Amino acid sequence: MIKSKCANVILIPRISEKSVRVKENNQYVFCIGNNMRKKDIAKMIEFNFHVNVESVNVCRIKGKKCNFKNIPGKKQDWKKAYVKIQKGQEISIGEV
């Protein structure tokens, strides 16, 4: 079950100024699928990166309204997960 959901859970690591700041507290930020739960996210992080997850916080980001060649539209909604791992462990994402 875990291997089949692997592609749907973790889409990409989110690298921004805030994600670099929270990395000091052993937290990492990921863009995830819209239908994933905290338990599934924790299992997938542990399975993919071989670390122990302490907690997972999730927030939904609403898509912004914009125009595409003067046609009103909306960007896609997405979900962001803050994953806290145990002290002394590290996830190698690729340094900026």
Instruction: Give the pLDDT score at 55.
Output: 95
- Nearest Cα neighbor of 84 from 47, 45, 48 is 45
- Nearest Cα neighbor of 31 from 91, 83, 85, 90 is 83
Residue 26 sits in a domain whose CATH number is 3.30.70.330
Name the residue range of residue 65's domain.
2-85
> Is residue 95 a part of any domain in this protein?
no
Question: What pLDDT, in 10s, does the model give residues 11-40?
Answer: 678 888 888 888 888 899 999 888 889 998
> Is residue 80 a part of any domain in this protein?
yes
> Is residue 25 a part of any domain in this protein?
yes
> Is residue 96 a part of any domain in this protein?
no
Instruction: Say what angle helices 38-49 and 2-9 make with each other, to 10 degrees.
Output: 100
